[in-house]
A and B are shown apart, each in its own frame.
Chain A
Amino acid sequence: MSPSAPILEIRELNKVYHSGRDSVPAIGSVSFSVGRGEFVAIIGPSGCGKSTLLKIIGDLLEPSAGFVSVDGLSAHQARLKGRFSFVFQNPVLLPWRRIIDNVRLPLEVLGRHSREPEQLLQMVGLAGFEKRYPQELSGGMQHRAALARALTFDPQLLLLDEPFGALDEFTRDALNQQLLQIWQETGVTILFVTHGIGEALFLADRVIVLSGRPATVREAFKVPFPRPRPDALKETEYFQEVVKSLREKLE
């Protein structure tokens, strides 16, 4: 998929945390853009401010300087209009709601009706689990439900913050394949924060490599692998080489 007009633009974004008299710079100066329909991964050493960056893009945090534009709107306007959707590290399902009602939550809050929650649950392989409660589901299934919830209002941009990091490798691989499938079916733009180099390379069109704190863009790496990408790709020598060269850039 070739990147067209950018849906997301970030210019000289800067974030400084103040605690008492100290000021801790979290993000140095970050600029990049993401094309419509593109799958972009952001990697960087742990604690470099990846999650902070994603939260600023999603208007959960205010930047200290710089600007974010989502589809020509400010991050704030874009949030109010429901242009993007978050997937967090934990599935964040409400234990008192059935799966179907968890998936329906964004529609209730936003007061609109875009996609059938039943259909989305089917899409993520959870058909038949609508009436269950989250705690009756496995960790992987909970993440699938969270993914379905993020898609209910047809967002144009999906912001994922190390979404499957707590899962075992097999479940994570399965969910990543699921994510790729969703991306291909819906044409949604994806910004995926991870600390896994292999994961980033396997999924993304482009990988943005951040430096340690305060974060700056060290490199925007175009991933050379063609699609579709089977799981076996990860076992090839070529893939391992690319992982290695990217790891060197991170260090």
Chain B
Amino acid sequence: MKLWNICAAIAACSLLAPAVALAQAKDWSSIKIATEGAYKPWNFTDASGKLIGFEVDLAEDLCKRMKAKCEIVAQAFDGMIPALNTGKYDAIMAGMNITDKRKEAIAFTEPYGRTPSTFAVLKSSPLAKLPDADKVYSLNPEGLSVAEKSINDLKPMLKGKVIGVQTSTAQANFLEKYFKDVVDIRQYKTTEQHDLDLAAGRVDGVFASISYLKGVVEEPKNKDMMLAGPRYGGGPLGFGVAVGLRKGDPELLAKFDAAVKAAVADGTVKTLSTKWFGFDITPAH
């Protein structure tokens, strides 16, 4: 039977030959980039199923600079890092923030965008009156004590409420760290799902990046949604959005890094982000 098993295994592998793609040799002339495809306006799909968005445009620009041919594929957000490490693709550009936790698993380039995160609620909700609206707090060591004080100020109003967040995100980690025993945190696979539940009133609020929420509350079908409360950045929320790469690919990291730095320096990022977000997300150095 041992021969049988080996034959079966080989047969199965050859059946899969068309589905299998050997990853690139080290010259990186052809790169596969993963994005989510459901995080407007960073990356989303249009009516015909094509991937579009800020990061899709930026990826094309970076690849031009690196003189490589790029293929962009869609992938569910919560599976991105494990799949990168097993070699399904070579890079991640999916609105993914650099966080200490993620840095243990993968490597990041310099950030190409930085936006804080905040709450979105229904206008009719009591949470619409969250204090400190629009104030920005940094959770990095310099501003941590001030930020934590504002977090504590929020806790009485948020007590017992249900807040939706996308799973595997820096925002989810932030909520788990600071609000675990105060709110009922619901983790959703996609941002669309928590928006649907916010509209239905299943959750009292959602917590996500301003770059995403701003687009959401401006849509006509969401006219009863609004941003609320202060905005947080840094610390568990990460140090900016960057390209994610495997730790074992230092040459690719160097190439992407150089391309990102150049795109930031010559204003490409500013132009693209103004086009897609309406404001500039270039991280101030």
The answer to whether A and B belong to the same complex is no
Which A residues form the contact surface with B (CB < 8 A)? none
Which B residues form the contact surface with A (CB < 8 A)? none
